[in-house]
Amino acid sequence: MEKLAFERPIIQRINAGLPSKHGISRKLEPISHIDEVPIKSLMDEYGSPLFILSESTIRKTYKEAYRAFSSRYPNVQFAWSYKTNYLNAVCNVFHQEGSWAEVVSGFEYDKAIANGVPGELIIFNGPDKSREDLKKAINNGSLIHIDHFDELYDIIHISKEIKERPKVAIRVNMDVGVYPKWDRFGFNFENGEAWDALNRIMGSKNLDLIGLHTHIGTYMMTTEAYRVAASKLAHLAVSLERKHGHVIQYIDLGGGFASKNTLRGAYYPGTDTAPSFDDFAEAITTALMNSEIKPSHLPMLILETGRALIDEAGYLAGTVLANKRLSDGRRATIIDAGVNLLFTAFWYEHEIRPIEPISEQTEDTIIYGPLCMNIDVVRSNITFPLLKKGDHYVIRRVGAYNNTQWLQFINMRPNIVMLDVDGKTHLIRKAETLETINNQEVTPEHLRSFNL
Amino acid sequence: MVKFNCSSKSAITSFKVMLKIRKNIAISDSGFVFDPMSGESFSLNPIGLEIIQLIKNGNNFKEITKVILDKYQVDEETLDRYFYDFISTLKQFNLLESTSHG
| Residue ranges in A115-180 assigned as alpha helix (H) | 131-139, 149-162
pLDDT of A107 over the 60 cut = yes
pLDDT of B11 over the 60 cut = no
Between B62 and A429, name the one with better pLDDT: A429
Span A213-240, mean pLDDT? 93
Neighbours of A161 (CB within 10 A): 11
Helix (H, G, I), strand (E, B) or coil at A426: strand
Q: What is the pLDDT of residue A23?
A: 55
The pLDDT-based confidence of B102 (bands split at 50, 70, 90) is very low
Spatial contact of A367 and A387, defined as CB atoms under 8 Å apart = no
Q: What is the pLDDT of residue A8?
A: 84
* A9–B48 CB contact, under 8 Å: yes
Spatial contact of B78 and A12, defined as CB atoms under 8 Å apart = no
Q: What is the pLDDT of residue B19?
A: 82
Segment among A166-175, A217-226, A315-324, B6-15 with least mean pLDDT: B6-15
* B72–A6 CB contact, under 8 Å: yes
Q: What is the pLDDT of residue B9?
A: 42
* B79–A6 CB contact, under 8 Å: yes
Nearest-10 crossing angle of helices B61-71, B76-92: 120
Q: What is the pLDDT of residue A3?
A: 86
Segment among A41-50, A54-63, A214-223, B3-12 with least mean pLDDT: B3-12
Q: Where in chain A is the domain with CATH 2.40.37.10?
A: 33-52+313-428
Q: Which CATH code for domain A33-52+313-428? A: 2.40.37.10
In chain B, what residues touch A13 (CB-CB under 8 Å)? 40-42, 93
Distances A177 to A129, A225, A226 between C-alpha atoms, Å: 30, 6, 10
Judge whether B13 is closer than 8 Å to chain A, CB to CB. Answer: no
In A277-389, beta strands by DSSP E:
300-303, 314-325, 331-335, 352-354, 362-368, 377-385
Which residues have a Cβ under 8 Å from the Cβ of A326 and sit 6 or more positions away?
A332, A366
Please give the backbone phi and psi of residue A378, each rounded to the nearest 5 degrees, phi first. -85, -45
- The third-level CATH classification (topology) of the domain covering A56-311 is TIM Barrel (3.20.20)
Q: What is the pLDDT of residue A171?
A: 96
Alpha-carbon dihedral angle through residues A155, A156, A159, A160, given to the nearest 10 degrees: -150
Q: Nearest by CB to A14, from B43, B50, B71: name it.
A: B43
Judge whether B41 is closer than 8 Å to chain A, CB to CB. Answer: yes
Give the residue from A424, A416, A313 showing the smallest Cα distance to A88: A416
Q: What is the pLDDT of residue A255?
A: 93
Judge whether A18 is closer than 8 Å to chain B, CB to CB. Answer: no
SS3 percent helix, strand, coil of chain A, rounded to 5, is 35, 25, 45
d(C-alpha A426, C-alpha A71), whole Å: 34
Span A420-438, mean pLDDT? 97
Q: Is the alpha carbon torsion for A371, A375, A376, A382 positive or negative?
A: positive
Look up the pTM and report it: 0.88
Span A110-115, mean pLDDT? 98
Segment among A151-155, A296-300, B57-61 with least mean pLDDT: B57-61
Judge whether A26 is closer than 8 Å to chain B, CB to CB. Answer: no
Strands A250-252 and A314-325: unpaired
Is B36 buried (19+), middle (13-18) or exposed (0-12) by CB count in 10 A? exposed
Q: What is the pLDDT of residue A182?
A: 81
The pLDDT-based confidence of A177 (bands split at 50, 70, 90) is confident
d(C-alpha A344, C-alpha A390), whole Å: 24
H or E element: which one contains B72? strand B72-73
The pLDDT-based confidence of A272 (bands split at 50, 70, 90) is confident
d(C-alpha A170, C-alpha A151), whole Å: 11
Give pLDDT tens digits for B13-50: 445 557 889 888 999 999 999 999 888 899 999 999 99
Mean residue pLDDT of chain A comes to: 93
Which residues have a Cβ under 8 Å from the Cβ of A287 and sit 6 or more positions away?
A226, A227, A228, A230, A231, A234
Tally A–B CB contacts below 8 A. Answer: 72
Q: Nearest by CB to A4, from B72, B82, B92: name it.
A: B72
Give pLDDT tens digits for B73-87: 999 998 998 898 899
Q: Where in chain A is the domain with CATH 3.20.20.10?
A: 56-311
Q: How far is B97 from chain A (nearest CA, A)?
A: 17
In chain B, what residues touch A383 (CB-CB under 8 Å)? none
Give the residue from A346, A313, A318 showing the smallest Cα distance to A413: A318
Q: Nearest by CB to A3, from B45, B50, B71: name it.
A: B71
Share of chain A above pLDDT 90, in %: 79
* A11–B33 CB contact, under 8 Å: yes
